[in-house]
Chain A
Amino acid sequence: MKSLKIPLFNSGRSPSRSYIKARTLLDHVNKGEVVVLMKGITKKFPGVIANYRIDFDLKCGEVHALLGENGAGKTTLVSILYGVHQPDEGEIYVYGKKVRFKSPKDAIAMGIGMVHQYPKLIDSLTVAENIALGLRQASVINPLPKVEELIKEYSEKYGLKVNPKAKVWQLSAGEKQRVEILRVLMYGAKILILDEPTTSLSPLEREDLFEAIKNLAQEGASIIFITHKLNEVMKVSDRITVLRRGRKIGTIPTSEADPHLLIKMMLGEEKVPQMISEWSLSRMRKHCEDPGNNIALEVEDLYVLGDRGELAVQGVSFIVRRGEIFGIAGIAGNGQRELVEAIVGLRRALKGRIRLMGVDVTNRGSRTIAEMGVAYIPEDRVRYGLVLDLSVADNLILRNYRRNPFSGRIMLNRSYISHWCEELVKKYEIKTPSINVRVRCLSGGNMQRVVLARELSQSPRLIVAFHPTMGLDVAATEQVRKLLLAEKERGAAILLVSEDLDEVMELSDRIGVMYDGRLMGVMKNEEVDVKRISLLMMGVRESEVDKDKARKGV
């Protein structure tokens, strides 16, 4: 490996060429050899130290899990390896060669591939066009037929089935993931970075993915697997590196790891949060053993169109009672967004009825519905729930600035507003220098607290919570869940829609599964079994689930 000592930069103009040259020398690396070595990586962003002196190594043919909470610095570390960010300090060696990637192009040239948490595919292009985008072999003129052929070849080789002519927006989350992995392989990657790849997959799709990952490692690929889920780490990895708050806590072989140890490493001894105990949960559930007739929300045979005119929700019916959490599980993109938007009045229902407290509110508009006591915690708070360039106060009054104490006929009542906002900031523990600071300057957790404070402060009768903990750290997640449980105890009806099956199962009294616009198999929490939910999430019908059970003699 002498040839690797060639100095890298001549002019720095187009380093990728030298990387390409270097790579050809390295095509045959033996299993167990170190392929990636990162030494003393430090990366600071304004106000945060994302990585501090992290050492990391990856061996050929292994699956190395990078474990840590959200915000622990996992994504930053791999972004540096992938050339998206440049480290402030530290050195990176790939195949023993010191590198300094200026952009992902350089990393790709060295055979590093990234599979993003939310596949970075361009919706309006086809699968083949997306892959052709960065494919060196793609010819300049009329590249698609050849690329399509190549896709078929690879997808057969690795058992990853996709239709190359399909537009990306037509694909399911699992298919998108497959396209992303195929693409990375077709670009010639031998080092794969998988950034929380299971987030939007159903349990069964997850199993398929783990199978594929193990195959790839067998074939000689080296894989970095980023996650914050312990069970996945235990299942798929060979070694585990734990990060906490931008620092590396340690690296251990999976065979020597156990969940308790890992949790301690992830969260730190001093502040293992008080998880909601089974006991307190069951106590809360008892509170509403007898729901009676208190139906808060009734959805009857609802049909809603999606953004592209497709039938996104098809004949959904359910009820949510007061003091009850009704959870809807399912893989994203199966009509949950359209269902929720129709309920809160942001999207027109094509057919069917929505009743609130017995009153028909179908297509009555978000304002009327909000004024009937419906709180809405939207999926993407930055996009829908907040105005980043307005102050905390102006964001807190977004839903009720029209009402009496907040404003008169024309003017806003600024003194009342600031008084009221100060109280909310205190009550919901929003960490902000003042209520006049722009929301843009707050952290993600505090942004979500602003949304929660606004929505819950009005003692709502129905709360529609859509992915309420997405992207939050452990502490903020716990706070959100506690708030929801407290609201339920107060007597609010809660519709919880989440991709996180654990969250739905932990909080809900009853659970339904959404698949392809239909709601399937509504069941009480105590009847839930994961296997059945998984099958439902994949669209296997009730009757078939039972058959499946019968066949296996369950």
Chain B
Amino acid sequence: MTSSLIIELGHLLNISIKAGTPLLLASLGEVYAERSGVLNLGLEGIMLIGAATGFIVAYSTGCPELGVLAAIVAGAIIGLLHAFVCISLQANQVVAGLALVMVGTGLSSLMARDYVGIALKRALRPVKIPGLSRIPIIGEGFFHHDILVYASYFITLILWFIMYKTKYGIWIRAVGEDPSAADAMGVNVYLVRYICTTFGGAMAGLAGAHISLAYTPMWVEGITVGRGWIALALVIFAMWDPLRAMIGAYLFGTTEVLQYWLQMPLQAMGIDPSLLGTFPYVATIIVLLVGSFERIRKRIGAPASLGKPYVRGF
């Protein structure tokens, strides 16, 4: 009885983390972009392009690792495009981001139009970490995953370290808060923003790859089903902190998993479970609400220059 419960819990934790990983990857990148002052609402679109590129490359070469690389590159290219439009052309970042979502939606389905419904022959498979994976619950939960999940653990820590413990982190935070002051100190505002935004795009591409190569290794149109938007909400919930983004992503993964787990019991209780599909989206709104309570209480705001293009001397 107890041992089966332990297995169940371990399994639940495992799937939650797996489901949370694309959210985590995308929101980590966005944390960096927003900290530098560039809002990228286009995550959903970039994730789609990453997922499609990754899938196509993995399918045609038979090597999912190459797919991951291709997705990162594709994401970075779109991120760079967003950086160019928002930083150099000073476009409205909200509208540019929305446009990216549309471009991503359209381009991904055009690119992968011959792959609809096809499953990947060799996807990224979970690997057990010897020793660690034998710890009850935690072992199954954290140490029985595909390589991207393990990578995400390290990426989170590294990004947290860079943000708070290095000179570059100070640069990024300064540029997002007060670009003209940072500029006066000789920090290259444009370069920092370009790098952070491009990096954000690359991470979103990676997040897309995790969806199409590991989480649900097949191609369907609109495979991300709104995860890009949820990742955006997570960034706010995380108050622009990589570690909090990790916690938020796994919580979210849990809600996503719960909607499937609750289906059977609800049906048994005579309640139609099909409305459970709204669960992640309602949860997102609730998370935003909770996050804003906390922000108001702690008086933490978004980076002060978020969404504002920087023009020197005007």
Residues of chain A touching chain B, judged by Cβ–Cβ distance below 8 Å, are 84-85, 103-105, 108, 114, 116, 120-125, 129-130, 132-134, 138-143, 307-309
Contact = CB atoms under 8 A, between A and B. Distances in A.
Contacts of B170: 125, 129, 132-133, 143
Interface in B157-191: 165-168, 170-171, 173-174, 177-178, 180-188
B313 interface: yes
Contact of B299 (A130, A140, A309): A309
B182 A104 contact: no
Contact of B187 (A114, A116, A134, A307): A134
22 contacts: A84-B184, A84-B312, A85-B313, A103-B186, A104-B183, A104-B184, A104-B185, A104-B186, A120-B181, A120-B184, A120-B185, A122-B173, A124-B304, A125-B170, A125-B174, A129-B174, A138-B167, A141-B165, A141-B166, A141-B167, A307-B299, A308-B299
A312 to B, nearest CB: 14
A125 B166 contact: no
Contact of A124 (B177, B187, B313): B177
Closest 10 A/B residue pairs (Cβ): A134-B185, A105-B186, A120-B181, A133-B185, A134-B186, A122-B178, A122-B177, A143-B167, A120-B184, A129-B170
Given A84-B184, A133-B170, A139-B167, 11 more contacts: A84-B313, A103-B183, A108-B186, A120-B180, A122-B178, A122-B181, A129-B173, A133-B185, A134-B186, A138-B167, A141-B165
Nearest to A126: B170
Contacts of A104: 183-186
Nearest to A309: B299
Contacts of A309: 299
Q: Which of B183, B184, B304 has the most CB of A within 10 A?
A: B184
Contacts of A141: 165-167
Contacts of B184: 84, 104, 114, 116, 120
Nearest to B179: A122
A129 B173 CA distance: 10
A121 B185 CA distance: 10
Contact of B177 (A114, A125, A134): A125
Q: Chain B interface secondary structure, helix, strand, loop or mixed?
A: helix
Contacts of B188: 105
Nearest to B304: A124
Given A104-B184, A114-B184, A133-B185, A123 B167 contact: no
A125 B173 contact: yes
With most chain A CB atoms within 10 A of its CB, the pick from B167, B174, B313 is B167
Given A85-B313, A308-B299, A140 B166 contact: yes
Contacts of B313: 84-85
A121 B186 contact: no
B173 A124 contact: yes
Contacts of B177: 122-125
Contacts of B183: 103-104
A133 B166 contact: no
A443 B312 CA distance: 20
Interface of B: 165-168, 170-171, 173-174, 177-178, 180-188, 299, 304, 312-313
Contact of A122 (B166, B167, B174, B186): B174
Contacts of B166: 140-143
A457 B247 CA distance: 57
A133 B174 contact: yes
Contact of B167 (A114, A132, A308): A132
B25 to A, nearest CB: 24
B181 to A, nearest CB: 4
Contacts of B180: 120
B260 to A, nearest CB: 41
B305 to A, nearest CB: 10
B213 to A, nearest CB: 33
A452 B299 CA distance: 34
Contacts of B182: 122, 133
Nearest to B181: A120
A126 B100 CA distance: 36
A84 B184 CA distance: 8
A387 B177 CA distance: 23
Nearest to A143: B167
A133 B170 CA distance: 6
A122 B186 CA distance: 14
Q: Which residue, A120, A122, A130, has most C-beta atoms of chain B within 10 A?
A: A122
Nearest to A106: B186
A308 B170 CA distance: 22
A12 B313 CA distance: 21
Contacts of B185: 104, 120, 133-134
Contacts of B312: 84
Given A103-B186, A134-B185, A308-B299, A140 B174 contact: no
Contacts of A116: 184
A126 to B, nearest CB: 10
Contacts of A143: 166-167, 170
Contacts of A139: 167
Nearest to B301: A124
B133 to A, nearest CB: 32
A124 B181 CA distance: 12
A140 B181 contact: no
A11 B137 CA distance: 60
Contacts of B187: 133-134
Nearest to B186: A105
Contact of A140 (B168, B186, B304): B168
Contacts of B174: 122, 125, 129-130, 133
B26 to A, nearest CB: 25
B297 to A, nearest CB: 9
B259 to A, nearest CB: 38
Nearest to B184: A120
Contacts of B165: 141-142
Nearest to B177: A122
A193 to B, nearest CB: 12
Contacts of A103: 183, 186
A104 B312 CA distance: 11
Contacts of A85: 313
Contacts of B178: 120, 122-123
Contacts of A114: 184
Nearest to A86: B313
Instruction: Identify which of B166, B168, B187, B188 gathers the most chain A CB atoms within 10 Å of its CB.
Output: B166
Nearest to A138: B167
A120 to B, nearest CB: 4
Contacts of B171: 133
A130 B171 CA distance: 9
Contacts of A132: 167, 170
Contacts of A84: 184, 312-313
A142 to B, nearest CB: 5
A435 to B, nearest CB: 26
A238 to B, nearest CB: 27
